[in-house]
Amino acid sequence: MTTTMYHNLIGGQWRPAASGKTILNLNPADHTDVIGAFPASHAEDVDLAVEAARNAFRTWRLVPAPKRAEILLRAGNILMQKKERFAQEMTREMGKVLAETRGDVQEAIDEAFYVAGEGRRLFGVTTPSELENKFAMSVRSALGVVGLITPWNFPMAIPSWKLFPALVSGNTCVIKPAEDTPLSTYNLVQALIDAGLPPGVVNIVSGLGPTAGAALVEHPHVRAISFTGSSEVGSQVAQRAAATFKPVSLEMGGKNAQIVMNDANLELALEGALWGAFGTTGQRCTATSRILLQTGVAKDFTAEFVARARRLKVGNGLDASVQVGPQVNAAQIETSLRYVEVALSEGAQLLTGGHALTEGPYARGTFFAPTVFGGVRPSMRIAQEEVFGPVVSLIEFHTFEQAVEIANSVDFGLSTALYTKDVNCAFAAMRDLEAGITYINAPTIGAEVHLPFGGVKHTGNGHREGLGAIDFFTTWKAVYVDFSDKLQRAQIDNAE
C-alpha cells in the first residue's frame, strides 16, 4: 500500500522539508496502519515559514477583527460538518476512543464559536486625562508572528486553543504539531483555509522538538511562543525564548488529586475517579493520578475501584465497545513500566495491572493495563511525579486539612477535585487547593473552553488558555490625543 505523503504548509503552498526526510505517523493500536509520512523539518523550513508569516502579517493585521472572526465562525461550521471523519482519523493516529476524539473535535468547534465572538470584544479602555482638552485611551494590538508548539494528546483541541485567539487578535502563526499526531492539526488548518483564511496567515512546520521546535523558539522574528507539553521541555523553551525577549505561555504537567470525603456520594466519586484516571488512557495533563481517600471510605472505595479498573476493556479505540485505548507510543509504555518498578521498590502495593499488554489483539500496538497502587505514601515518587499513563495511586488521610496538605505537596498545580456534601469543606477547598482548576463533585478532567485553563507551580507560568488567551496574544498601546493646541506637560502642569 502506498504511503500518503504530507508536506509543510508555507505561504499557502505545500512543500516538503528541505532535507527530504519524513516521519511516519503510525496507529498506536496497530502499527501496520500507516496514517502518512510527514516532514522532518529543520531550521531552514522554519525560516521559510516565519518569513511567509511576516509577509502575511502586513495585511492580516489590517483586516477588521470582526472580519477575522467571521473566518473562525465558518471554520467552526466546517468542523461540525466533518466531525466524524476527523474523529476517526484522530483515533487512528492518537489512539483514544471515538467518544473522546469526537469530544476533541467538538472542543475545537466550541473554541471557534467562542473566539469568533471575541472579534467584537477586543476591548480597550477609555479614561479621563489629568490635563484639560486631552483624550486618553488604550487599545489592543497584535504581536506579529507567533509560534505555537502543541502536544499529541489533544491534537485538534489544543491547537485550536492557540490558533483561534492568536488569529482573531491579528497575529500570523507558525504551528509545530506533535510528531505523533500531526494529521489532526492539518485537518484543523485545512478547515481554516476552506473558510477563507488568506495564504501565509497560518503555516505548518512538522517535525521533532529538538529541531523544528527549537528553531521556532529561537527565531528572532517570532514575537511569542505558546507551548503545551512537559515541564522539563517547557523550562527549556522558556530559557531559550528569554534570549530574544519573547513572552512565553507554558501549559505543562500535572499530578492531580481527587479527594473523597467520608460523606461523599461514593458511586459518583467512583465514576469520577475511573473516568479521571483512565480516560485518554491517563494521558492528560489533568488526569487523576492520585486519589485521596478518607479512612472511613477507603476500604470500600478501594475494593470497588480496583474491581471496576479490572473490568475496563482495553483495545483499539475504533471499536465502540473499547473503554481504554493504547498509549501513544513505545516510549510512553516504557515510562509506565519504569514507574511501576519505582512504586514497587518504594513499597507501594500493586492492586491491579502494572504491565504492558502484548499478546493476541494487543501484539501490534502499545497497550498498558489499567494500573492501581494502594498503600501509597505522599512522599513516594509515584505520588509526586507525573507518569502520563493509566497509573493511579490511592492515598489515605484522616482529616480534611490533611487531605489539602497532601494534595498541595507536589510540584504541580493544575487540577484538583473534591467529593463531599459538606459546603464548608467545598468552599475551603476552592480557597486552599493550590491549582488552576478545582472541581467539586466532579472529576479532575473536563475543562470548558470559555474558562481559564492553566496551573500554578511547575504546571504553568501564569498565562491561561481559554479566558485569558487574548491577553497573551495581544499587547497594550496607550493613545493620547491632545486638542488643547498648546504644550501640556503631564505631572507638571497639572500639579499647579
Question: How far is Cα 413 from Cα 384, in angstroms, rounded to an integer?
Answer: 12
**Strands 288-294 and 134-142, how do they pair?**
unpaired
User: How are beta strands 172-176 and 145-149 bridged, if at all?
Assistant: parallel
The active-site residue out of 173, 218, 285, 396 is 285
CA dihedral angle for residue 39, residue 55, residue 169, residue 285, rounded to 10 degrees: 20
Contacts of 224 (CB under 8 A, 6+ apart): 143, 146, 147, 246, 247, 248, 249, 472, 473
Give me 269's grid cell: 466519586
Which candidate in 51, 118, 179, 251 is catalytic?
Answer: 251
Residue type at position 89 = E
Order of strands across the sheet with 248-251? 13-15, 8-10, 202-204, 172-176, 145-149, 224-228, 248-251
CB 466 within 8 A of CB 451: yes
- Annotation says 425 is catalytic: no
Among 224, 221, 226, smallest CA distance to 242 is for 224
Element (H, E) at 26: strand 22-27
d(CA 47, CA 49) in angstroms, rounded, equals 5
Alpha helices in 433-481 (DSSP H): 469-472
Closest CA to 373 of 352, 390, 357: 352
Q: Do residues 144 and 171 make contact, with C-beta atoms less than 8 angstroms apart?
A: yes
As a whole number of angstroms, the distance between CA 40 and CA 20 comes to 8
**Which residues touch 107 (CB under 8 Å, ≥6 apart)?**
154, 156, 157, 160, 449
Task: Check if 251 is active-site.
Answer: yes
How far from chain centre, in Å, is Cα 262? Answer: 33
**Phi-psi label, residue 346: left if phi above 0, alpha if psi -120 to 50, beta otherwise:** alpha
Catalytic residues: 251, 285
